[in-house]
Amino acid sequence: MPAAAQPIALPGTIWLASDLHLQEQTPATAEAFGAWLLEASQQAEHILLPGDIFDAWVGDDALAVAPPWLRAVVEAMARAGARTDLWLGHGNRDFMMGAQLAQAIGARLLPEQALLDTDIGRVLLLHGDELCTDDLAYQQMRQIVRDPQWQAGMMAKPLPERMELARQLRAQSESGKAGKSLEIMDVNPDAVCAMMRRHGVSRLLHGHTHRPARHTFLLDGKPAERWVLPDWDLEQAPGRGGWLHLDRDGLALNDLTA
């Protein structure tokens, strides 16, 4: 089991968003994300994007042949990165984002388990998929694709082949979800508590489950809370999406469509 992460000092206002799953078929979501990035870069000292910004990412060399929709998204992220502190995290769909992409947008890469020292104290930020321990098949696949040797093997393949493999993996993922209960795909409470104990925190932030909410509970007899970031889909009205706002007054979920 990995040791507790080294804390990252992030004083001031923080905006967090995840699970946009951007692709060519999501132009409205991409446009909304660009507008959100502009506002966030004007109002926040830090922007954190903890995973699944893209529906798939098969390697940073895709930047060299980026289609128009992807170039527009990367340029919007780069404009935000030029104005404020930008952090990029890995999700279960875009875990192969690397240093080249981060450099292109003026961002830094978040560790898988990011311990943040903020104006409201220490919080732990994850993508969240590692907490879904009841989904054994998913966790087995996650262990495979997060292995550096597997990723090196993927990067040795031609870009078109990687793109096709990503398409197949997405299709398998969607097909697999159809046969699973919502409970299996949600976080496991024991995994949540174990993760929070390991890092010594009473606040946990994550995405992945597409169930935005604030959960309060007792952790070893003391108050604790878990905040789930919203997913985004603006392709059909009224759509859905949102972000988490953190400042010295606390945490708040914001609905993009309100």
In this structure, the dihedral spanned by the alpha carbons of residues 110, 112, 115 and 116, taken in order and rounded to 10 degrees, is 30
pLDDT tens digits for range 184-210? 779 999 999 999 999 999 999 999 999
What would the pLDDT profile of 179-191 be if each residue is shown by its tens digit?
566 677 799 999 9
How far does the chain reach from its first CA to its final CA, in angstroms? Answer: 41
- Residue 213: beta bridge partners? 228
Task: Give the integer Cα–Cα distance in Å for 200 and 136.
Answer: 26
Give the residue, 201 or 178, on which the prediction is more confident.
201
For 235, what's the count of Cα atoms within 13 Å in the CB-facing half-sphere? 10
Compute the distance between CA of residue 78 and CA of residue 99 in angstroms, rounded to an integer.
Answer: 14
Domains and CATH numbers, the chain: 8-255 (3.60.21.10)
Q: Is residue 76 within 8 Å of 37, Cβ to Cβ?
A: yes
